[in-house]
Structure 1
Amino acid sequence: MKTITNFENKKVLVLGLAKSGESAARVLNQLGAIVTVNDGKPFDENPAAQDLLTEGIKVVTGGHPLDLLEEDFSVMVKNPGIPYNNPMVERAAALKIPIITEVELAYLISESPIVGITGTNGKTTTTTLIADILNADGKVAKLSGNIGFPASDVASKSTADETLIMELSSFQLMGIAAFRPKIAVMTNLFSAHLDYHGSQENYEAAKWRIQENMTADDFLVLNFNQAKLRNRAALTAAQVVPFSTTETVSTGAYVADGHIYFKAEKIMPVADLSLPGEHNVENALAAICVAKLSGVSNTAILSVLTTFSGVKHRLQYMGQKANIKFYNDSKATNILATQKALSGFNHRTLWLLAGGLDRGNGFEELSADVADLKGMIVFGETAPKLRALAESLAIPVYDSENVATAAVLAYSKAEAGDTVLLSPANASWDQYKTFEQRGDLFIDAFTGLEEK
């Protein structure tokens, strides 16, 4: 990592631990900062704080005392999940203490060029595809950021001949100052996180910050299927590289005659993509743009895009039993995500497993997307609502206790050539702590199925 002096002998407050806060505290300590960590979890329940204390880092736990800010801090490194209306953050802003997130620190210390990926949907799949393609070509690409690997930790261990492939949330991008990726990707923009940002306009502005420090030497990959992103193309200093599934964009990646092209060069047939769904064609196009800008061979691109089985819990192909395919899309915690998943399958042979936390909404929006399904298995708090939807459309529907029993029931009903898709359209919190736990139990149930 770069040995920078920005923080040397300066008081820095790390607000909120989790993985990114813990990593930031250690990196700052290495850089000679006088670090204080403040986390709401009590000390005796806080292993991370205990570890940092043994390393000589000051920790304040069990609450967020405002008088802590009287210590004349030079900067606050805020956990992305902590909103800006938090009293500590508001007080720091009033005191004109610069507030950054950990990805800014990662940028400042990184010797590696950064490829930054943001957007509402498809970030994790696109990020993983890009890393896999670059690595397949013999390069060293490291996953980092919102994908589960703290950016500052990865940056501190990376070298100039490696590349950081960094997934970036709107929360993280609100806390940048100098951050500048060599290549940036914006997959799409839909409505999300309005409780945090206050408005769709604020949310989109936070996402757009990914390019604010980019120059004509950098590349911004944009989804031209969306007018709102196409219209932003004139608002950046970076070189815009578009992708589209609906039209020929001569300076980027596009679909024509059933094939994917990059700048008129034929790359591969769309039918050879291993991941189903129009949204995954978009993800593949974005990844191809980055790969070609990075000098990657078509051989490496094809080797990944024709075999990639998906990110765990995100339309993940698990395999088949008795010639019945199983997909795990537990990450589909809302109706839009399930609609996107359904778009990639033949509904006549598809069994949908759905249900979860009841947030008071109905499921009428799903009517057109599920109308011709072979069957549905429903579970969780919203099972009665989903059953009513299925019955109104004359779709065979069966109740099940949970996701594991739903997998077994679907297997018993499905025939050779069918597909079973877990895409719940609901959050998991009625029965499970996380969508990952829900997906893991589905995987376990699939693994335990016996050939019939």
Structure 2
Amino acid sequence: MKKITRYQNKKILVLGLARSGFSAAKLLHDLGALVTVNDGKPFEENREAQDLLALGIKVITGSHPIELLDEDFSLMVKNPGIPYSHPLIQGAMEKGLPIITEIELAYEISEAPIIGITGTNGKTTTTTMIEQILNQGMTKSRAYLSGNIGYPASSVARDVMADDCLVMELSSFQLMGTIDFKPHIGVITNLYEAHLDYHGSREEYVAAKWRMQNHMTSEDWLVLNWNQAEVRALAEKTKAQVIPFSTEEKVNGAYALKGQIYYQEEAIMLVDELGAPGSHNVENALAAIAVAKLNGISTTVIRTVLQHFTGVPHRTQYIGQINQVKFYNDSKATNILATKMALSGFEPEKVILLAGGLDRGNSFETLVPSLKNLKAVIVFGETKNRLAQAAKEAGVSIIEETLDVTSALPLAYQLSQAEDVILLSPANASWDQYTNFEVRGEAFIQAYDALKAQVEKE
């Protein structure tokens, strides 16, 4: 990593631990900063805080005393999930204290160029596609996954060499906390309305995403979804070289036309050869192909990887089948659009949808067209009543209510027959019943394993 000295003997407050805060605190400590960590979890339950204290880092846990700001901090590094309405953050802004997230630190120390992927949906899948293609095609270097995909960027960036690259999934929460950060190649998969409880408005949400390209130059590339008029308009405001991708028209980039995928004039593969189902995964693949071609990866490698790519955990992930009934885990579908995209990849008459979760006050009217002709819908969680109403409006003949994912799966199997698809795609966040979408997805997988074992015994 780059040996930077700007943080030596500087007092820095790290607000919130989890993986990113823990990584940032350790890095800043190693760079010579005088680090104070503040986390809401009590010390006796806080393994990260205990480990940091053992390193000689000051930790304050169990509450967020506003008096902390009386110290002469020169910087705050916040956990991305903590909203800017938090009293400590509000106080820091009033004092004019710079506030960043740990991806800014990763950018400062990384010797390798960054490929940054953001967007409302498809970030994780596109990021994973890119990493797999690059690592299959590069012979003397390596692509490293990092960022919102679960690997703290400020930790991964320590190990990369100049010939490597950081493939970084970026959330709007992370991007809001950047100052000089920029990728060498940026990708915006799509832009829809999301996280308004955090950002306050669609305009602020889009601005956070677009912040990724603020410092990009004519020597950088920005891969954009040309299907969206909003994105095409934004493209006129960047200094980066724009590489479009589209499933609707021929563009000077990656596109799908009459069942064939192209990059510029070169045929890459057939749409039907993609291993991951759904029209949304065609868009994800186009974005990944554009990045791969910008990195000089051969068409043979691209085709081979995408043919064998069947999805990432919890994102339209194929789990297996029982008596020719196929099971898919799309727990990462935490909004309506993600569920609509998942449903687009299957024949509706064969789909039994499992949906429900945290009530954020969303209307499910926009989901109704995607529910039409489904074989059955099973609902659970705080939003079960409104989802059931949406299914009724769509004319779904079988609508069942159950407690949670674990009870929904065997009920769905009872309603199924050979060639059907049982799809967990909740259209809601998980926090009413599960700590995160991963835990919800694992509950689905465990329920599948239990059911399969039971059926095999019979």
* TM-score (normalizing by structure 1): 0.95
AA in 1 matched with 2:344? S
Residue number in structure 1 paired with 2:244? 242
1:81 and 1:311 map into 2 onto residues whose CA distance is 23
Find out whether 1:136 has 2:127 as its counterpart. Answer: no
Residue number in structure 2 paired with 1:324? 325
Residue number in structure 1 paired with 2:67? 67
Residue number in structure 2 paired with 1:119? 119
1:126 and 1:351 map into 2 onto residues whose CA distance is 26
Deviation (angstroms), 1:360: 5.1
Q: Structure 1 residues 170, 411: closer, same or farther in 2, change over 3 A?
A: same
Question: How is 1:392-411 mapped onto 2 (pairs within 5 angstroms)?
Answer: 393-411=395-413
Deviation (angstroms), 1:187: 0.8
AA in 2 matched with 1:281? V
CA contact (8 A) 2:250 2:257 kept: yes
For residue 367 of structure 1, give the secondary structure of its aligned residue in structure 2. Answer: helix
Q: Structure 1 residues 178, 363: closer, same or farther in 2, change over 3 A?
A: closer
Residue number in structure 1 paired with 2:265? 264
1:391 and 1:67 map into 2 onto residues whose CA distance is 54
2:381 and 2:85 map into 1 onto residues whose CA distance is 34
For residue 313 of structure 1, give the secondary structure of its aligned residue in structure 2. Answer: coil
CA contact (8 A) 2:374 2:396 kept: no
1:55 and 1:118 map into 2 onto residues whose CA distance is 34
Residue number in structure 2 paired with 1:438? 440
1:350 and 1:6 map into 2 onto residues whose CA distance is 56
CA contact (8 A) 1:12 1:35 kept: yes
CA contact (8 A) 1:371 1:395 kept: no
For residue 156 of structure 1, give the secondary structure of its aligned residue in structure 2. Answer: coil
Find out whether 1:219 has 2:221 as its counterpart. Answer: yes
Question: How is 1:10-409 mapped onto 2 (pairs within 5 angstroms)?
Answer: 10-138=10-138, 139-250=141-252, 252-359=253-360, 361=362, 363-391=364-392, 393-409=395-411
2:156 and 2:130 map into 1 onto residues whose CA distance is 17
Deviation (angstroms), 1:40: 2.2
2:390 and 2:16 map into 1 onto residues whose CA distance is 43
Deviation (angstroms), 1:362: 5.1
AA in 2 matched with 1:299? T
Which whole-Å deviations, capped at 9, do the CAs of 1:209-239 have from their partners, x for residues lacking one? 1011111111000111011111111111110
For residue 369 of structure 2, give the secondary structure of its aligned residue in structure 1. Answer: helix
Deviation (angstroms), 1:433: 3.0
2:434 and 2:81 map into 1 onto residues whose CA distance is 21
Which whole-Å deviations, capped at 9, do the CAs of 1:328-386 have from their partners, x for residues lacking one? 11122332221111111111222212233445555443322122112223334444444
Q: Structure 1 residues 32, 326: closer, same or farther in 2, change over 3 A?
A: same
CA contact (8 A) 2:371 2:396 kept: no
Q: Structure 1 residues 381, 76: closer, same or farther in 2, change over 3 A?
A: closer
For residue 318 of structure 1, give the secondary structure of its aligned residue in structure 2. Answer: strand
Deviation (angstroms), 1:429: 3.5
Deviation (angstroms), 1:195: 1.9
Unaligned runs of 5+ in 2: none
More moved, 239-248 vs 426-435: 426-435
More moved, 373-382 vs 319-328: 373-382
1:370 and 1:90 map into 2 onto residues whose CA distance is 43
Give RMSD over aligned pairs: 1.8
AA in 1 matched with 2:379? V
More moved, 335-344 vs 37-46: 37-46
Deviation (angstroms), 1:54: 0.9
User: How many pairs align?
Assistant: 451
CA contact (8 A) 2:147 2:170 kept: yes
Q: Structure 1 residues 331, 394: closer, same or farther in 2, change over 3 A?
A: closer
AA in 2 matched with 1:259? Q
1:217 and 1:59 map into 2 onto residues whose CA distance is 42
Question: How is 1:411-422 mapped onto 2 (pairs within 5 angstroms)?
Answer: 411-422=413-424
For residue 22 of structure 1, give the secondary structure of its aligned residue in structure 2. Answer: helix
CA contact (8 A) 1:124 1:167 kept: yes
For residue 235 of structure 1, give the secondary structure of its aligned residue in structure 2. Answer: coil
2:160 and 2:5 map into 1 onto residues whose CA distance is 19
1:238 and 1:173 map into 2 onto residues whose CA distance is 18
AA in 2 matched with 1:442? F
CA contact (8 A) 1:80 1:171 kept: yes
Q: Structure 1 residues 179, 386: closer, same or farther in 2, change over 3 A?
A: closer
Q: Structure 1 residues 25, 230: closer, same or farther in 2, change over 3 A?
A: same
2:25 and 2:389 map into 1 onto residues whose CA distance is 51
1:383 and 1:60 map into 2 onto residues whose CA distance is 40
2:365 and 2:85 map into 1 onto residues whose CA distance is 35
For residue 125 of structure 1, give the secondary structure of its aligned residue in structure 2. Answer: helix
2:69 and 2:56 map into 1 onto residues whose CA distance is 20
For residue 308 of structure 2, give the secondary structure of its aligned residue in structure 1. Answer: coil
Q: Structure 1 residues 361, 168: closer, same or farther in 2, change over 3 A?
A: closer
More moved, 363-372 vs 267-276: 363-372
1:230 and 1:278 map into 2 onto residues whose CA distance is 20
For residue 52 of structure 2, give the secondary structure of its aligned residue in structure 1. Answer: helix
More moved, 110-119 vs 135-144: 135-144
Deviation (angstroms), 1:414: 1.8
Tell me the percent identity: 61
Q: Structure 1 residues 430, 104: closer, same or farther in 2, change over 3 A?
A: closer
Q: Structure 1 residues 7, 345: closer, same or farther in 2, change over 3 A?
A: same
CA contact (8 A) 2:376 2:396 kept: no
2:390 and 2:194 map into 1 onto residues whose CA distance is 25
AA in 1 matched with 2:70? E
AA in 1 matched with 2:233? N
More moved, 359-368 vs 121-130: 359-368
